[in-house]
Amino acid sequence: MLEKDDFLKWVNASHYMFEIFEGRNDAYPLAKKWIREWSDFGKFIIDERDNGIVNLLIKSFDYDVFRNSNDKIERNDDEWTKFVNEVDRQFKKLIENNLKAGECKNVGFAVAPFLFTWNFQRFKEYFKKRKEDFDIGSYFKDLGNFLSGKKEVLRGFKDKHLIYDEIEKERVKQIFDEINGKLKETGIGNNEPIGTIKLLHVFAPCYFPMIDNDIAKTIGGLLPSKWESLTSDSYLKWMNALKSWLQNYFEVINRLEEEYDSSILKLIDEGLYMMSTVKQRARVARLGIELN
């Protein structure tokens, strides 16, 4: 286990690495801000700055990062280009129609840029398997209508903090399974634990920790096998383990959250993401070292 000073160094180093290579055009801060506004006022405001961030996100999003050379569609340059153009067209249409400067009442569009960009591996499968039947704008509109029906439940977690508040096992399990069920219904009939966890987190960033399958595999003990994914039960196990571990750093957590204006759960996720999920060698080219 890390000593407190080393824990601080790890969080600091991971955060700066994340910001440099992953966070410059991250939709997460916007999603968090918009959801809090919607939770308090029933609508969220898209100002000119927000609109500029979203447009920059669209412009800089690199679909090729998610390309799978073993897939018959994706390994064919012409097929991949055609596929990406259609996905990009729909994503831009969603932004143009629903996230122009002004106000919006459907919270599905508040989470759309964040969920689309950070869970694109799943959306890629929706487009491939449902083809002409899948419309991303309709997907997030439907999701927003569902989340509106869960507003009071989600508000109940909004101001909770994993370190200070108890883990309400039955309530967490219920909302996890309900959101997963909705994503399964609107997707391709598969469980969607990663999308579920990302949604839970942005609605209650200090209470619901993020995790993905790569991190779960690296930590060990959360997945029955490498072919299985997270469930509400394994997520509760993760919440309990993280809560217990963070008690060791109780004295420095407030300082970190204030310094970065971020929940400790988000900062921990950045560190685990950089260690477990990202192939760091792929980022070396971005350093710009040139040999003459």
Distance from chain centroid for Cα 23: 12
Per-residue pLDDT at 131? 77
C-alpha triplet 31, 32, 35: angle, nearest 5°: 80
Per-residue pLDDT at 25? 64
In this prediction, the residues of the chain whose per-residue pLDDT falls under 70 are 24-25, 282
72-80 long-range CB contacts below 8 Å, 24 or more apart? 73/128
Q: What is the pLDDT of residues 133-176, one digit of tens each?
A: 899 999 999 999 999 999 999 999 999 999 999 999 999 999 99
Residue that is written with structure tokens 């080393």 in the block: 6
How deeply is 156 buried, as exposed, middle or buried, from its count of CB atoms within 10 A (0-12, 13-18, 19+)? middle
- Going from N- to C-terminal start, the domains of the chain cover 4-284
Per-residue pLDDT at 285? 75
Per-residue pLDDT at 198? 97
User: How far apart, in whole angstroms, are the C-alpha atoms of residue 191 and residue 277?
Assistant: 20
Taking a C-beta distance cutoff of 8 angstroms, is the pair 191, 184 a contact? yes
User: Which is it for the CA torsion 248, 172, 206, 30, positive or negative?
Assistant: positive
5-12 long-range CB contacts below 8 Å, 24 or more apart? 7/248, 7/249, 7/252, 8/252, 8/256, 10/271, 11/256, 11/267, 11/268, 11/271
For residue 17, count other CB atoms closer than 10 A to its CB.
19
Per-residue pLDDT at 183? 97
| Residues contacting residue 197 through CB under 8 Å, at least 6 positions apart | 176, 208, 210, 211, 212, 230, 235
Taking a C-beta distance cutoff of 8 angstroms, is the pair 122, 210 a contact? no
- pTM value? 0.94
C-alpha distances in angstroms, 27 versus 22, 31, 57, 111, 236? 11, 6, 7, 9, 26
Instruction: Report phi then psi at 191, rounded to 5.
Output: -60, 145
Per-residue pLDDT at 65? 84
Per-residue pLDDT at 24? 63
Per-residue pLDDT at 228? 83
